[in-house]
């Protein structure tokens, strides 16, 4: 197969869109800020496909697995791994913000802070108990889960349907084949939508730079720099050793998913690449059933970057407002974050909403203080979303290896680039569609 010209590769086109967006945001900030609908439209186009893609992938994978005990085993292994890694992420975030102290000396007087700007976010917060969180996984109606796009609810329905089809045996085979065909159609639609990825990246980054760039970077540059450094410490100080332990190279994995990383960096939404990540992980040699369970679950339970953000931002606000926050209180805060961080999926501006919910639950730091970082939240999201994505990619390979569901020869070949892009990943490439139309 002939190698694609460099300018036709998606990551090059996305990078070009980002570069043009940054330049527009710098030199024409007003025009750049008006580009927001381009980014939002791309995100919406992908989000409308997430629920059916997850449903078809999981149902087909579980139905083919047939061993119901194995499904439960994969889920338990994934959840244990997620909980350990998110706890480590929270701990690293707390340590880093205490060492760097980006908020020290700011001495913010909240009486001079306009708290009205955060009211739309605070209105979305709610004190959520463990019971309420678990009950929310069960949808009100079968169709409601798809209408709302709740990933965990769709995942629950898909697993139940997969179980039922597996029990039907040969009688259920025609339906399993139909779902498999529907899955291929949906991934084809994703491939068409990805045509707009460079435009979406352009619009999103132009808006970010034009609306929040200059002044925010100057006033809160220490917080931003410290947070980005913390993300790098977690990726290369935690995920890299985990990858080496399992037996693959993290830098090679990052290179392999570079297109997806650029897209989530520009759009600040990891949901924009969820369907692509399912395909990419299967191309790496992870079994379909494992990928279908781990990737969607990870989008709610394995948000490493979001945990780093919540820990960093919370202690920063305490420092900036001179709110006493001792070690015991920070450990209590960590316990609260372990719960609230699990609700940071499927909500617009999720991390910021969850931050407000965390402060409201803890009752130690004034909720109004979150207005201090509203201006740079999107810039911080450009660090947390790629971290979330890398964390979920590593988690999928780890769980697949533990479960004996990983083709390691295929993994090494794909990461080394020996076979180029695999078939399903190629099908998601815009250039593949342009070739087929000629």
Task: Give the model confidence (pLDDT) of 212-256 as tens digits.
Answer: 665 555 557 788 889 999 999 999 999 999 999 999 999 999 999
**Would you say residue 92 has pLDDT above 80?**
yes
Q: pLDDT, tens digit, for every residue of 153-189?
A: 888 899 899 888 888 888 888 898 998 899 899 989 9
CA dihedral 299, 303, 309, 314 (to 10 degrees): 100
The lowest-confidence range among 122-131, 280-289, 326-335 is: 122-131
Using alpha carbons only, what angle is made at residue 372 by residues 32 and 119, rounded to the nearest 5 degrees? Answer: 85
Question: pLDDT value at position 361?
Answer: 67
Banded model confidence at residue 420, pLDDT cuts 50, 70, 90: very low
Local confidence band at 427 (pLDDT 50, 70, 90 cut-offs): very low
pLDDT at residue 130 is higher than 70: no
41-50, 81-90, 415-424 — most confident range: 81-90
Region of 3 (left: φ > 0; alpha: ψ -120 to 50; beta: rest) is beta
Residues 6+ apart with CB under 8 A from 426: 432
pLDDT interval class at 1 (50, 70, 90): very low
Q: What is the Cα–Cα distance from 429 to 148, expressed in whole angstroms?
A: 28
Contact 373, 210 (CB under 8 A): no
* Model pLDDT, residue 235: 96
- Asked if the model's pLDDT at residue 134 lies above 80, the reply is no
Q: Residues of the chain with pLDDT > 90: what percent?
A: 24
Q: How far is CA 153 from the centre of its chain?
A: 17
Give the domains, in start order, of the chain with CATH numbers. 82-128+198-436 (1.10.3860.10)
- Closest to 341 measured CA to CA, from 168, 162, 133, 201: 133
pLDDT in tens, 372-390: 787 677 788 888 999 999 9
Could you tell me which of 396, 381, 244, 356 has the C-alpha nearest to residue 305? 381
Residue 333: CB atoms within 10 Å: 24
Q: For Cα atoms 86, 88, 89, give the angle at the middle one, nearest 5 degrees.
A: 60
CA angle in degrees (0–180, nearest 5) for 269-407-403: 80
pLDDT of residue 215: 55
Taking the alpha carbons of 390, 198, 279, 407 in that order, is the dihedral positive or negative?
negative
pLDDT tier at 129 (50, 70, 90 boundaries)?
Answer: low
Average pLDDT over residues 6-23: 84
Q: Above 60 in pLDDT, residue 73?
A: yes
Q: How confident is the model at residue 418 (pLDDT cuts 50, 70, 90)?
A: very low
Q: How far apart are CA 178 and CA 183, in angstroms?
A: 9
Q: Which two tokens stand for residue 411?
A: 């993994």
In Å, what is the CA distance from 153 to each residue of 53, 140, 156, 304, 306? 13, 10, 5, 21, 21
* Nearest C-alpha neighbor of 386 from the set 196, 227, 244, 202: 227
Closest CA to 304 of 97, 88, 99: 88
Radius of gyration of the chain, Cα coordinates, nearest whole angstrom: 22
Backbone angles phi, psi at 107, to 5 degrees: 50, 55
Residue ranges of alpha helices (H) inside 169-267 are 173-193, 197-208, 214-219, 221-234, 240-246, 250-256, 258-267
Nearest to residue 206, comparing CAs of 379, 383, 36, 378?
36
Distance CA 308, CA 135 (A): 26
Please state the pTM of the whole predicted model: 0.82
Q: Could you read off the pLDDT of 346-360 as tens digits, one per residue?
A: 444 577 777 877 777
């Amino acid at each position: 197969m002939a190698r694609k010209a460099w300018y036709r590769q998606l990551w090059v086109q996305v990078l070009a869109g980002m570069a043009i967006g940054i330049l527009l945001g710098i030199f024409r900030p007003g025009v750049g800020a008006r580009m927001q609908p381009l980014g939002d439209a791309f995100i919406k186009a992908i989000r409308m496909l997430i629920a059916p893609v997850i449903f078809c992938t999981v149902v087909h994978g579980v139905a083919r697995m047939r061993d119901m005990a194995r499904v439960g085993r994969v889920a338990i292994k994934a959840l244990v791994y997620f909980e350990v890694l998110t706890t480590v992420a929270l701990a690293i975030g707390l340590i880093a913000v205490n060492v760097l102290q980006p908020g020290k000396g700011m001495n913010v007087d909240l009486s001079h802070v306009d708290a009205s700007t955060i009211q739309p976010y605070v209105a979305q917060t709610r004190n959520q108990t463990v019971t309420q969180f678990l009950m929310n996984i069960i949808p009100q109606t079968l169709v409601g889960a798809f209408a709302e796009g709740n990933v965990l609810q769709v995942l629950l329905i898909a697993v139940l349907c997969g179980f039922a089809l597996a029990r039907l045996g040969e009688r259920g085979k025609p339906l399993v084949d139909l779902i498999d065909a529907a899955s291929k159609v949906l991934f084809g639609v994703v491939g068409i939508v990805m045509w707009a990825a460079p435009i979406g990246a352009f619009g999103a980054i132009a808006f970010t730079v034009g609306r929040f760039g200059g002044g925010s970077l100057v006033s809160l540059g220490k917080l931003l720099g410290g947070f980005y450094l913390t993300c790098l410490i977690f990726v290369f100080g935690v995920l890299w050793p985990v990858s080496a332990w399992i037996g693959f190279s993290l830098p090679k994995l990052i290179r392999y998913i570079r297109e997806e990383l650029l897209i989530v960096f520009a759009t600040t939404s990891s949901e924009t690449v969820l369907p692509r990540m399912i395909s990419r992980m299967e191309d790496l040699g992870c079994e379909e059933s494992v990928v279908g369970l781990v990737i969607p679950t990870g989008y709610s339970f394995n948000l490493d970057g979001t945990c780093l953000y919540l820990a960093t931002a919370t202690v920063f606000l305490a420092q900036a407002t001179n709110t006493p926050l001792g070690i015991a209180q920070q450990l209590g805060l960590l316990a609260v974050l372990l719960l609230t961080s699990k609700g940071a999926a499927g909500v617009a501006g999720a991390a910021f909403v969850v931050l407000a919910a965390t402060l409201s639950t803890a009752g130690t730091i004034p909720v109004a203080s979150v207005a201090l970082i509203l201006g740079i939240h999107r810039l911080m999201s450009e660090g947390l979303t790629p971290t979330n994505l890398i964390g979920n990619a590593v988690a999928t390979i780890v769980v697949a290896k533990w479960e004996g569901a990983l083709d390691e020869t295929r993994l090494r070949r794909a990461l080394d680039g020996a076979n180029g892009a695999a078939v399903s990943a190629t099908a998601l490439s815009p250039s593949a569609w342009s070739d087929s139309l000629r």
